Structure 1
Amino acid sequence: MRRVGATFIHDVRVFDGESVAGTGSVEFTDGVVTDVTVGPGPRPRPGKGTQMVDGSGLTLLPGLIDAHTHVFGVPDNLELALAFGVTTELDMFMGPADATRALCELAAGRDDVADLRSAGWLASAPGGHPAVGMPRLPTVAGPGQADAFVAARHEEGAHFLKIMVDDGANHGMSLPALDRATVTALVEAARRRGLVTVAHVSALWSARLALDSGVDVLTHLPLEAPLDDEFAGRLAAGGHAVLPTLTMLEMSAPPPSPAAPVGRTLGEDPRIAGHLPEHARRAIASGREGLCADHPRPEHRFGHALASVAALHRAGVPVLAGSDANQRPDRACPVVHGASLHAELALLVDAGLTPAQALAAATSVPAARFGLHDRGLIAPGRRADLLLVAGNPAEDITHTRSIEAVWRGGVRFDREAYRARVAPASGSATEDTRDGTP
């Protein structure tokens, strides 16, 4: 990462990752926040040569964390994410191990792409989902193989462990799935090595199995029925968290009305469209690949997922923002990197979170859950991964789309140069230039 001089953002509303702290100033140097001053009282005096940024009418947030993505080894996906204020992606399945490690190292050393953490190879049953279509994928045949599997992933550099609890029904198949004893053994082996466990759940039965097995984080939600208050209470009592991926679920469920899913409307929002590559715009508009349920059943309803999030939120279960973005230039998945997290935030608010709680779900909450203690908050000593937007997203969550500037490690990302390079036909939108930088 480049060493950069001091930047001082003044007269800016500060959402610190948990709440709106007030209006004041934030200073950062060499990629680290050095001072945060809000509210009444004396203001710090920036040193000579400090880059000044006028934050009047703007809100400064920690860089967003998309807690569920699939990068597929494509660095361009990380650049697209950064263009929309996502400074960290948590990848839930990628291989082979050497390529995954190399991409994580590349992302760590560059300031023009989002940072990356990855589960590497996920755990699934032999002949199950997705192993049935990937014959070289390592699998787990039973609890006796769990420790060796987790040890191998840990040695390869996995940052957490992804566990598939899925029988293929949402994809029109009947496949073997990991049983409770095997999932429990995987969780225990991961815990011994300090790895957070994340379970892909596809239905009520798999959500129950994951909870009974002690998995730390459940990702996705059942579409056939909502989780009830008893289940939500068990999650809360056990200290578990949930990553709903509402954007993906809305795309996968049968449409309840002629209205387009929130994620499908991103390409029509001028705050988003101008920085989307053409392949991403096409995928958002009509792509059907990579959905988590491509054979939906009559009982599937997106409203069930919204009701589940509401129940989880009432019970005090930490809810994390993750889009399940898995689009790439040759794969027309409608959930795209960066942009789709803004749809996820809007859907979390639709489910009952306040805008400020949705912002926390994409900043401080995933940072704490996945041990990313250097980010997720705007505070002295934290990374200067920052997002500056017009308006107040703690009141109107869609204001996260009105991006004025993005910094990764204290280095400002040139969004206008990115737009001109990847989306030259999108118009002449320009960034705010009140501070004299592009």
Structure 2
Amino acid sequence: MATTATTAITGARVFDGEKDLGVQTVVLDGRKIRRVGGDVPEGAGVVDGRGATLLPGLIDAHVHSSPGSLALALRFGVTTELEMQGLNTRENRAHITEDDTVADVRSSGFAITPPGGHPSELMPEGFRPAGNLPPVMPLMPFSTTPEQAAAFVPQLLARGSDYIKFMIDDGSVEGHPGLPMLDQATLDAGVAEARKLGALTVAHTLTLDATRMAAEAGIDGLVHVFMDQPHTAEIIDVIAEADMFVVPCVCLDASMMGITGSELADDPRVARRLDDRWDKTLRSSYDRYPQGRLDDVLATVRALSAAGVDVLAGTDASMAETFFGGLAHGASLHHELQYLVAAGLTPAQALRAATATTARRFRLGDRGRIAEGLRADLLLVDGDPTTDIGDTLNTRAIWRRGTRLEES
């Protein structure tokens, strides 16, 4: 790592998370952005950004952490990951917060789901994940009644969950129909308790029916888009009128349909940053819903965006295991940006989905934009991703809290 007390990035086009500012000098002072615009301060270290675009560090709005995943994410300019089930709640992540060689993280802890409910069906029998256990084991909020769901919410928050996640899944998309699933009353009670306590709520919803349940309960955001059928104007209106955000995870849907990430893995800009395990994982797929239609998913995302719904970029990247295939931390967020553009978002809208929009919807007021006083989480890329989204992979430099990541 390399840190300079004051650094000036000069000559780069700046996309501040919301809009293109043109060529500006951005001054970093320690861990924060001192200024956007103006002259280079005397004595500052200078980074020549000519021919490049400076972006806020990217935010992946749906991951599951695993050994090495936060370091891998940062190598792709993803400076924050939002864990949607995992171990990195506040009680376990002090070492991550202070480590500028890995992406920062926020976490739901474990999601509210019935015993035997999703995601239990995804793990092969006898599977044990690699890596050390955290100092504090997570709370397992298995719930089958409204009273249980409501009681678990304050416990999750006290244990350091940053938002509360609910699983609404009968297993039909994963090839396990009939899984135990939260009923509407239990979901409603949990969401109402979270709202009373001021907590953000998100829901795992892979079907249109589950999406309706989430809307009825008053969920703040969906961390999947439904993939079991085409959208209707009515369901788009339901989501828009509820002011829910949506993290489509198109790259996950593609993997569920048997589409691998091999084309992404073949890109030399990706290949040089992946080890053999992640390369093999990316070249695999979940392949649990081959009857799905990716064109339907893209059309749904296009309709959501056109209706004014906040679309956020996320991947559902997990472990370096082929049964979680088609996805790799960091790399797949760039793939997701490409999918969002394929769905009809402009490159600028896609970039907002991985920066300012996600920061706003997840209440991360210190990041997601290039502005005075915010964290110096930055990604400098050759080219102009506001016109060609593929340029996000042309990494020239990455900073996490003002510390420049050394090339690996």
With structure 2 as the length reference, what TM-score do the two structures score? 0.92
1: CA distance, partners of 2:381 / 2:3? 24
Structure 2 spans left out of the alignment, 5+ residues: 126-138
2:8/2:26 contact within 8 Å kept? yes
Please identify, of 188-197 and 389-398, the stretch whose mean Cα deviation from structure 2 is larger.
Answer: 188-197
2:89/2:162 contact within 8 Å kept? no
What is the letter of the counterpart of residue 109 of structure 1? E
User: Which one of the candidate residues 208, 211, 219 is aligned to 2:212?
Assistant: 208
Q: 1:394 to 1:219 in 2, by over 3 A?
A: same
1: CA distance, partners of 2:234 / 2:89? 39
Residue equivalent to 1:140:
143
2: CA distance, partners of 1:323 / 1:67? 7
1: CA distance, partners of 2:2 / 2:150? 40
Residue equivalent to 1:239:
243
Superposed CA deviations along residues 357-404 of structure 1, whole A, max 9, x for unmatched, are 000000000100000000000000110000000000000000000000
What is the letter of the counterpart of residue 55 of structure 2? L
Residue equivalent to 1:158:
161
1: CA distance, partners of 2:230 / 2:323? 31
Q: 1:133 to 1:18 in 2, by over 3 A?
A: closer
1: CA distance, partners of 2:277 / 2:258? 24
1:123 aligns with 2:127: no
1:198 aligns with 2:206: no
User: Which one of the candidate residues 101, 104, 121 is aligned to 1:112?
Assistant: 101
1:59 aligns with 2:57: no
Q: CA deviation at 1:193?
A: 2.1
1:228/1:311 contact within 8 Å kept? no
Residue equivalent to 1:279:
277
For 1:326-405, list aligned pairs within 5 A. Answer: 326-328=318-320, 333-405=325-397
Q: Secondary structure at the match of 1:53?
A: strand
1: CA distance, partners of 2:119 / 2:242? 29
What is the letter of the counterpart of residue 52 of structure 1? V
Superposed CA deviations along residues 322-350 of structure 1, whole A, max 9, x for unmatched, are 01111236866321100100000000000
2:245/2:309 contact within 8 Å kept? yes
Q: 1:357 to 1:330 in 2, by over 3 A?
A: closer
Could you tell me the percent identity over the aligned residues?
43
Residue equivalent to 1:21:
21
1:131/1:139 contact within 8 Å kept? no
What is the letter of the counterpart of residue 230 of structure 2? P
Residue equivalent to 1:47:
42
Residue equivalent to 1:171:
174
Q: 1:102 to 1:80 in 2, by over 3 A?
A: farther
2:256/2:290 contact within 8 Å kept? no
Q: 1:81 to 1:350 in 2, by over 3 A?
A: same
2: CA distance, partners of 1:220 / 1:238? 16
1:13/1:60 contact within 8 Å kept? yes
2:281/2:321 contact within 8 Å kept? no
Residue equivalent to 2:8:
8
Q: Secondary structure at the match of 2:55?
A: strand
2: CA distance, partners of 1:7 / 1:189? 46
CA RMSD of aligned residues (A): 2.1
With structure 1 as the length reference, what TM-score do the two structures score? 0.86
Superposed CA deviations along residues 97-148 of structure 1, whole A, max 9, x for unmatched, are xx64454222111111000000001100223223568999431111111221
Q: CA deviation at 1:194?
A: 2.2
Q: CA deviation at 1:226?
A: 2.0
